């Protein structure tokens, strides 16, 4: 038996929880500065350790076998998944972790409602209402995150998928969910468990239907929003369990996550409401395949590309998700090294959402040892474009589409882009003319100063590097 | 804890959350999202409390799954964030790497 057990809700336990959430706040704060971010993460993790140990020491805890089983499975899966995951797959990993968090909240809510009903007493509203909230939001978050994961992992099409009358179905679901919530709350003397499970199921369907119509390009914002939701639902679980650590930590994530979501949406020049309800690529189904007729374009090989690059004054590389998928960051770095040896200035233009999340591309290029000074943000590089000899687009698509600027009817109208078409010449390395995440055709490919190099990004970069070496 | 005390804590925490995230460089958006994501894994404590005080078969099962889910969220979340941030802290080193063994 453990000697020094803590009384649930007692001063010692609460004091330790206060230590824990203070560490969370410091951790998040430090996470906002590049120099302290890594330490901030460790501080927050230490806070988590304090919170977990405190809870394990609570008086009356039992069923240690099951607790160890749960912790063991969770730790094993978490560790293995985190070590195995490729840097390119980071966004969907975050979605998945967020999903299981939401799932945990929904399960805890279900268990609490069972527990409360089994006592056979009047269910106090100040725990029933948070439980209902936690159940609904946790379930939406679980399923929404799983869909986001499946989309980013290409398990289901990344294009927006929308059924006709989608908005009506969603509205009916929301009304049904609210109605059941009200019925449960009114009937708080003996709330029905069956009704609560129905509530979880309806919330699950809603989570699926809300995220399915959203295109892959907007997914980071959705994941961030679901992250904030899961935080809030965790706080609600804290109200139900009278646990101050849950209330504070959950709320912190809810509010900081909301700000982060808004900042991300701003970086993409889109509003959150627009992302959630417009269904990126507005035209359903057929519109995405883009007309079908072949438009004229210029196709070149690696040798031509090497010559264009080697005799340029300045080159801007625009990396996109295709580069990440092909693991081409190292090969591209070799091209840049070859060019720099010949006195060509090489910079990288990083769109705020290059890769699949803000900052994702920076992580990938950092992995390839690209110097930080050479990574230019969009606002910094766009004015330089007219003076750039060659812009090389590697696996990027929508973020270079001039339609965002020129065509007010385009689904991506208004999205900030890297203005590669302003450069004297453009080389696009891409497998085919197929559209990107947004599911729309890219006018850039058909402009007179654009040459297409159809190849795998990694192979193409390696070929170009060796061709430059041979010149 | 009274309901009003809890609501007080909640409202204050909302403002702390807003204040703490101010002007985040784009580069840190993903790692920070991942870190806050790990922090909401704290719901795992709820799973511990459910299982720790349960005496009913269904609660055992639900609670144990909740613990496993929450633990994945916590452990995976912090580790993935650490890996991402590790990419940045490598920054100062390339200059120092002596006679580049990857050179040729």
* Helix A244-267 with A219-241: angle, nearest 10 deg: 160
Q: Which tokens in the block code for residue A334?
A: 């070799």
**How does pLDDT run across B23-53, given as a tens digit for each residue?**
788 778 888 999 999 999 999 999 999 999 9
Question: What is the rounded distance in angstroms from the CA atom of residue A163 to the CA atom of residue A151?
Answer: 17
Alpha helices in A279-359 (DSSP H): 302-310, 321-325, 329-341
ipTM of the complex model: 0.87
**How does pLDDT run across A37-96, given as a tens digit for each residue?**
999 999 999 999 999 999 999 998 989 999 999 999 999 999 999 999 988 888 889 999
Catalytic residue annotation of A: 398
Q: How far is CA A459 from CA A333, A354, A437, in A?
A: 13, 21, 22
Q: Closest to B26 (Cβ–Cβ): which among A70, A259, A359?
A: A359
C-alpha gyration radius of chain B: 21
**How does pLDDT run across A195-253, given as a tens digit for each residue?**
999 999 999 999 999 998 887 777 888 999 999 999 999 999 999 999 999 999 999 99
Average pLDDT value for residue range A278-297: 49
pLDDT at A177: 96
Q: Closest to B85 (Cβ–Cβ): which among A38, A82, A367?
A: A38
Question: Rounded to an integer, what is the distance from CA B64 to the centroid of its chain?
Answer: 20
Question: What is the rounded distance in angstroms from the CA atom of residue A173 to the CA atom of residue A168?
Answer: 9
Strand intervals (E) in A373-417: 375-377, 390-394
* Domain positions in chain B: 43-86
Pick one of 2.40.10.230, 3.40.50.1220, 3.40.50.300, 3.90.180.10 as the CATH number of A291-470.
3.40.50.1220
> In the predicted model, is pLDDT for residue B98 greater than 50?
no
pLDDT at B100: 39
Across the interface, whether the CB atoms of A257 and B52 are under 8 A apart is answered no
Across the interface, whether the CB atoms of A101 and B70 are under 8 A apart is answered yes
Exposure string of A188-211, with b = 16+ CB inside 10 Å and e = fewer, is eeebeeeebeebbebbbbbbebbb
Pick among A58, A97, A105 to test the B interface (most B CBs inside 10 A)? A97
**How does pLDDT run across A95-143, given as a tens digit for each residue?**
999 999 999 999 999 999 998 888 888 888 989 999 999 999 999 999 9
Q: Dump the DSSP string for A245-284.
A: HHHHHHHHHHHHHHHHHHHHHHHTT--HHHHHHH-SS-S-
In this structure, the dihedral spanned by the alpha carbons of residues B71, B73, B79 and B81, taken in order and rounded to 10 degrees, is: -160
């Amino acid at each position: 038996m453990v000697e020094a057990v803590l009384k649930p809700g007692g001063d010692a336990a609460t004091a330790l929880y206060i230590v824990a959430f203070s560490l969370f706040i410091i951790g998040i704060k430090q996470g906002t500065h590049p120099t302290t971010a890594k330490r901030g993460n460790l501080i927050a993790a230490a806070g988590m350790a304090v919170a977990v140990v405190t809870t394990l020491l609570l008086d009356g805890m039992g069923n240690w076998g099951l607790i160890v089983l749960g912790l063991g499975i969770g730790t094993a899966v978490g560790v293995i998944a985190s070590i195995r995951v490729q840097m390119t797959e980071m966004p969907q990993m975050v979605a998945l972790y967020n999903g299981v968090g939401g799932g945990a909240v929904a399960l805890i809510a279900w268990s609490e409602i069972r527990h409360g009903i089994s006592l056979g007493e009047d269910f106090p509203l100040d725990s029933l209402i948070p439980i209902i909230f936690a159940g609904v939001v946790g379930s939406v978050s679980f399923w929404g995150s799983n869909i986001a994961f499946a989309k980013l992992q290409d398990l289901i099409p990344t294009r927006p998928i929308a059924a006709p009358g989608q908005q009506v179905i969603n509205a009916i679901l929301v009304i049904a969910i609210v109605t059941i919530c009200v019925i449960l709350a009114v009937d708080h003397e003996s709330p029905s468990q069956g009704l609560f499970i129905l509530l979880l199921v309806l919330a699950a369907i809603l989570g699926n239907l809300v995220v399915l119509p959203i295109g892959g390009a907007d997914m980071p914002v959705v994941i961030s929003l679901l992250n904030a939701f899961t935080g809030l639902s965790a706080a609600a679980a804290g109200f139900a369990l009278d646990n101050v650590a849950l209330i504070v930590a959950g709320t912190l994530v809810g509010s900081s996550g909301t700000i982060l979501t808004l900042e991300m949406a701003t970086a993409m020049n889109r509003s959150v409401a627009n992302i959630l309800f417009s269904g990126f690529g507005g035209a359903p189904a057929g519109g995405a395949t883009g007309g079908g007729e072949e438009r004229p374009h210029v196709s070149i090989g690696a040798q031509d590309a090497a010559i264009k690059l080697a005799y340029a004054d300045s080159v801007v590389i625009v990396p996109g998700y295709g580069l990440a998928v092909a693991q081409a960051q190292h090969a591209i770095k070799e091209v840049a090294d070859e060019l720099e040896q010949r006195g060509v200035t090489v910079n990288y233009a990083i769109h705020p959402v290059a890769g699949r999340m803000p900052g994702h591309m920076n992580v990938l290029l950092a992995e390839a040892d690209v110097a930080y000074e050479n990574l230019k943000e969009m606002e910094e590089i766009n004015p330089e474009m007219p003076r750039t000899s060659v812009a090389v687009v590697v696996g990027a698509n929508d973020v270079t589409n001039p339609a965002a600027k020129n065509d007010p009817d385009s689904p991506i109208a208004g999205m900030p882009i890297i203005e590669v078409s302003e450069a004297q010449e453009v080389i696009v390395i891409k497998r085919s003319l197929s559209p990107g995440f947004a599911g729309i055709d890219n006018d850039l490919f058909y402009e007179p100063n654009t040459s297409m190099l159809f190849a795998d990004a990694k192979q193409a970069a390696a070929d170009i590097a060796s061709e430059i070496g041979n010149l | 804890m009274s309901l009003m005390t809890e609501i007080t804590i909640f409202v204050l925490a909302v403002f702390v959350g807003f204040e703490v995230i101010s002007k985040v460089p784009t580069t840190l958006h993903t790692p920070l999202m991942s870190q806050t994501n790990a922090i909401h894994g704290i719901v795992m404590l709820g799973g511990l409390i459910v299982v720790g005080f349960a005496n009913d078969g269904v609660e055992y099962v639900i609670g144990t799954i909740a613990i496993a889910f929450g633990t994945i969220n916590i452990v995976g979340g912090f580790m993935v964030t650490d890996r991402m941030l590790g990419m940045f802290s490598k920054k100062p080193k390339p200059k120092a790497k002596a006679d580049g063994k990857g050179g040729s």
